[in-house]
Amino acid sequence: MVDFEFSEDEIRFRDSVREFAKRYIEPKWIEIDDQGKIPMELIKKIADQGLFAIPVPEEYGGMGGTMVMAALAVEEIAYHDPAVAIAVYTLLQNGWPLALALFGQEEAKMEILPKVASGDAFFGIGSTEPQGGSDVAGNKTVAKKVGDKWVISGEKAFISGVREIQELPEGGGFFLVAKTEKPGWSHTRITDFAVLPKWNGKIREEWKPTVYEEIGRHGLSTGGFTLENFEVDDKYRIGEVNKGFYLVLQGFNIARILVAAATIGSARWALDKAKEWLTTRKLFQGRPIASFEGVSFRYAELYTKVEAAKYFVYKAAWMTDNTYLTKSPRFKPQDLNLPVAMAKMMGPTTATEVYTEVLKWFGAYGYTKECSAHRGWLGTFSYTIGAEGAQNIMKYIIARDTLGSDAVRNVWVKEE
């Protein structure tokens, strides 16, 4: 990546998103965080602005844009909603629709993606289960072929969009991971499906959802659900049977770029609020807080870390465009593992570090609800905890791809 400048089209696009977010999101983000719900009319506005399915080809209702543009959109929305609920909703409606566009069957893509792009339906990821999220090979949800259909049973946990699917006019669903053939720990027996618990306005009885109460990022729901003999037509199968492990990991690479973009957008907002405070708040005979090196040097460190995280995000987005959209022979999907893991490791961790310091700079004011910085801390911390991949998994990927898999691999359980 030699040219570090965005193209004129990308700059115009970023500026249009910034103007939109300032007008429609910034005035509402605190109210949305308090009420715990993104209004349906705002979701529709975001869709009408063309901010869902940005990198999805136009023939499927998408914008026909790029992952760089999707990352720009998510970063700008997160700056104007630092609690990141709206940004995460937006990133989900870009990352996993692109994965479906890349790996899904034509009939399913033509049916699902236009409704996601229009804001009438949701399409997220359904892989995490109660026993763990990062252990995709350990999924216990089972899909069995019965005639020309698949029958899926199992339980998913900590899934975004459970409430929104029920409330959106068309509904929606998930890029769902299931175990095919005999159960047991295995990465070779997994198949992915586009599972639609509510579609064309009708909720399936075989889907039993629940919604959790979280400590932050309140505008977007997180919940779980069970599937009880949930029938799926074969047209909704994503990729080849028993090859789903590799496809969902590619989907995670796409989504993690946008997660990191959201966290750096929120961190930028926090640093801007801190800058205003540090340069105008005066103590000790009229000295601005920024005049104390213990503060200004720390600000410099954090600013640099945010810029470094931003570099990782846009390098990974650029590589994704070259891998999947322009199909450059220089890149293979596995080449994304390292830059994406670095972006996902740096973005959330840096955002949490920024907020921790900014809240201390605000002093007692930072511990009040009147100071809205706590909303950004709680929202971005969800991704430091591990949503879309635990931080230790990112470190493992980086170590594996730099030191070599033989050097860092632990003893794995033999496949049953």
CATH of domain 8-117: 1.10.540.10
| pLDDT more than 70, % of the chain | 96
- Residue 185 reports pLDDT greater than 90: no
Q: How confident is the model at residue 406 (pLDDT cuts 50, 70, 90)?
A: confident
Q: What is the spatial distance between Cα 293 and Cα 127, in angstroms, rounded to a whole number?
A: 46
CATH of domain 244-408: 1.20.140.10
- Residue 415 reports pLDDT greater than 50: no
Query: Once rounded to an integer, what is the mean pLDDT over residues 18-37?
Result: 97
pLDDT in tens, 104-149: 999 999 999 999 999 999 999 999 999 877 888 888 999 999 999 9
Decide: residue 246, CB within 10 A, 0-12 exposed, 13-18 middle, 19+ buried.
middle
CATH of domain 122-238: 2.40.110.10
Query: Once rounded to an integer, what is the mean pLDDT over residues 370-381?
Result: 96
| pLDDT more than 90, % of the chain | 88
Q: How confident is the model at residue 1 (pLDDT cuts 50, 70, 90)?
A: low
Q: How does DSSP classify residue 414?
A: P
- Residue 412 reports pLDDT greater than 80: no
Residue 263: closest CA among 306, 298, 221, 220 = 306
Q: What is the spatial distance between Cα 144 and Cα 142, in angstroms, rounded to a whole number?
A: 7
- Residue 416 reports pLDDT greater than 50: no
Q: Boundaries of CATH 1.20.140.10 in the chain? A: 244-408
How high is the pLDDT of residue 405? 85
Least confidently predicted of 155-169, 303-317, 388-402: 388-402
Query: Once rounded to an integer, what is the mean pLDDT over residues 229-249?
Result: 96
Mean pLDDT of the chain: 94
Query: Once rounded to an integer, what is the mean pLDDT over residues 67-80?
Result: 98
- Residue 413 reports pLDDT greater than 50: no
Mention every residue, 6+ apart, whose C-beta is less than 8 A from residue 368.
none
pTM for the predicted model, two decimal places? 0.94
Q: What is the spatial distance between Cα 406 and Cα 408, in angstroms, rounded to a whole number?
A: 6
Q: Boundaries of CATH 1.10.540.10 in the chain? A: 8-117
pLDDT in tens, 339-362: 999 999 999 999 999 999 999 999
As a whole number of angstroms, the longest Cα–Cα distance in the chain is: 81
Q: How does DSSP classify residue 321?
A: I
The tokens for 249 are 């990991």
Q: What is the spatial distance between Cα 139 and Cα 90, in angstroms, rounded to a whole number?
A: 27
Decide: residue 289, CB within 10 A, 0-12 exposed, 13-18 middle, 19+ buried.
buried
Query: Once rounded to an integer, what is the mean pLDDT over residues 275-297?
Result: 93
- Residue 410 reports pLDDT greater than 70: no
Mention every residue, 6+ apart, whose C-beta is less than 8 A from residue 39.
28, 32
